[in-house]
């Protein structure tokens, strides 16, 4: 099992305005508190030390790095919830996966649901799973390492969606201790990064687009 040590460096603030923050979350840090005293250190608690009014608008898995929106106050939190619910937020991720993907681009349309006896694992279930759609585009194939660098666009936002969908193609994300099998040991962390996020600012109507370079 891969051990993640929560980084203690200050969080990188990408954008600050009167209504929201954009933060670049490092891998190994929870987005929100977990259960137990050892899981109280998280992105939102660190942000609240500087911005006490900060509230969570969405989450990234602990192992995933990249861009995260944080609301400043309940009014903006409600608006950001609405944008995510209406799929009015564009998101793109970068990942390195095991193997050489055959197609240059495509869609993964596989319904998902929580594998309740083995939570937090998620599984594909064609009978009772919720609709889940991911678009992907190959950026680079590396024959020497038998890996593919891929851009991912989640149309829906199911828990672990990108990780489950890539594993279902036989190309799990490197470093994924839940779904990658032997490929989990091919990287020191999950090689998944939230690299781009875009939306219309709910209060001032400005087009917002932020990018973050993947650290792998």
Predicted confidence band of residue 151 (pLDDT cuts 50, 70, 90): very high
Contacts by residues 43-48 (CB-CB < 8 Å, ≥ 24 positions apart):
43/11, 43/68, 43/70, 44/70, 46/11, 47/11, 47/21, 47/23
Its domain, for residue 64, covers 12-89
The whole-angstrom separation of Cα 39 and Cα 161 is 23
What DSSP letter does each residue of 12-26 carry, written as one string? EEEEE-SSEEEEEEP
Q: Do residues 97 and 49 share a domain?
A: no
pLDDT on residue 157: 94
The whole-angstrom separation of Cα 148 and Cα 171 is 9
What percentage of the chain has pLDDT greater than the value 70? 95
Q: Do residues 158 and 98 share a domain?
A: yes
Residue 61 annotated among the catalytic residues of the structure:
yes
Q: How many domains does the chain have?
A: 2
The CATH number covering residue 57 comes to: 3.30.2350.10
Q: Is residue 80 part of a domain?
A: yes
Identified catalytic residue from 61, 125, 176, 185: 61
Altogether, the residues listed in the chain come to a count of 216
The whole-angstrom separation of Cα 32 and Cα 94 is 22
Q: Is residue 75 part of a domain?
A: yes
Q: Is residue 183 part of a domain?
A: yes
Q: Is residue 202 part of a domain?
A: no
pLDDT on residue 3: 34
Q: Is residue 131 part of a domain?
A: yes
Q: Do residues 59 and 119 share a domain?
A: no
Predicted confidence band of residue 10 (pLDDT cuts 50, 70, 90): low
Q: Do residues 52 and 125 share a domain?
A: no
Choosing from 47, 72, 89, the residue where a domain stops is: 89
Q: What would the pLDDT profile of 88-134 be if each residue is shown by its tens digit?
A: 999 999 999 999 999 999 999 999 999 999 999 999 999 999 999 99
Q: Do residues 105 and 84 share a domain?
A: no
The whole-angstrom separation of Cα 16 and Cα 35 is 30
């Amino acid at each position: 099992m891969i051990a993640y040590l929560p980084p203690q460096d200050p969080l990188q603030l990408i954008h600050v305005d009167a209504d929201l923050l954009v933060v670049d979350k490092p891998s190994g840090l929870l987005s929100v508190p977990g259960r137990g005293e050892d899981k109280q250190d998280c992105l939102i608690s660190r942000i609240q030390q500087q911005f006490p009014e900060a509230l969570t608008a969405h989450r990234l898995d602990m192992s995933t790095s990249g861009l995260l929106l944080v609301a400043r106050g309940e009014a903006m939190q409600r608006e950001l919830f609405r944008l995510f619910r209406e799929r009015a937020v564009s998101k793109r991720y970068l990942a390195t996966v095991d193997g050489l993907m055959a197609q240059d681009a495509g869609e993964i349309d596989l319904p998902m649901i929580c594998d309740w006896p083995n939570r937090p694992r998620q599984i594909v279930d064609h009978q009772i799973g919720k609709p889940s759609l991911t678009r992907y585009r190959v950026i680079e194939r590396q024959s020497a390492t038998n890996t593919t660098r891929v851009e991912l666009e989640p149309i829906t936002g199911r828990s672990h969606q990108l990780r489950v969908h890539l594993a279902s193609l036989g190309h799990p994300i490197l470093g994924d201790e839940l779904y990658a099998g032997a490929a989990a040991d091919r990287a020191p962390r999950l090689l998944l990064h939230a690299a781009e996020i875009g939306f219309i600012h709910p209060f001032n109507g400005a087009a917002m687009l932020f990018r973050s370079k993947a650290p792998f």
